[in-house]
Structure 1
Amino acid sequence: PLPFYDPIYALLEPQELQSSVNGNIKTVYCQFTMSPKELAKLSTNEALFPRVEVQLRCFNTTGDIRDIEQADAFPFYCYITLNDLPVTLPDAFTTKKGKEPKRESHPVDITHLVVNSPSDAPYTMRIVWVADQRQWAVAVYLVECVNAEILRNRMVNSHAFEFPYVTMEAIIRKRLGGGDDDEVAIDSLKISLLCPV
């Protein structure tokens, strides 16, 4: 799960994109459905929070990935359509000269494609990629998109965030060092770039 997205459930469980040693172009078709109630919750207004989105996620499954959260990653030579409408994948960038370009690591919002497609039939996704020795998986999720303010309010209102006055005072005194020089004690702090607050 990503910090700005609360998963509601999977519309399409992860589907494996088979690897190949030949570098062949492969095509896979996947289908998912949505009820009218689910469709009514969707919002394409990016200024609205919280909002419900349909997200396409792809990740590399090569090696032992059990119990390890995977970053979003798309094969570079990849083309995806939803009901024959092209899906815009993350931009590609080159990290080193002579290396295969990589795509930005984030999920793809396909809500606008779902909303603009007829809802009486299953949504058909076509994935075309150049298969290599890496294995990939693709999935579609219904998620609630939140912003930093919503996450901050959740954190502040959670019981884990409550410190008794005496405990907080002791932490502050320890950090200040408590000596005559009133120097701030040097400390280290680990942060995650995924943490929005």
Structure 2
Amino acid sequence: MDSKKVLLLLANGFEAYEASVFTDVLGWNRLEGDGSIEVVTCGIHKELKCTWNFTVTPEILLAEVNANMFDALAIPGGFESAGFYADAFSEDFLAAIREFDQAGKIIASICVGALPVGKSGVLTGRQGTTYHLNNGYRQNQLARFGVDLVRKPIVCDRNIITSSSPATALNVAFMLLEKLTSPENCQKVKYLMGFGPKKDADE
């Protein structure tokens, strides 16, 4: 079994829930699934404050990252009022997204985590979505980046996953798990976490 690594890229002002779905789903896989995936938290700063005001210390800084070290990139969204876009729209953040896409790595974003993906240029002419409420303001912003906006909860265009709200977060994490392992392994983890029917999970 090949070991895999996911870079969880956190902007200052990220939503803790949207980050936690990746750490929890992939953490459950590490203990109860095929055990193949390690999650590494990363940010531009040595300390990050999430939207709701607690502080997180990322394991590595973005300056230390090479896309070839990882199999996928995960990007939770955040709030403008908490400073999310100062990091998420920075050139270092956008350059990392471009590097992962050029290397053909999976990029999984939740809610407005799609906006730096769009701004980076990797979704130009491709399908995507982002936060859909507030009169579609964020979706219109994504479209202005040249993205073919699809008004669905989750949109997957080749290697890039985007989604429309925090409500989609768990499904995005499970989709990433399935892409990195297998449908059978993903179903097993879903079942053991209480999110899916038993089916063949114990076989």
TM-score for the superposition, normalised by structure 1: 0.28
* Structure with more strand by fraction: 1
* Structure with more helix by fraction: 2
Relative contact order, CA 8 A, sep 6+: which one is greater? 1
- Work out which of the two has the higher radius of gyration on C-alpha atoms and give 1 or 2: 1
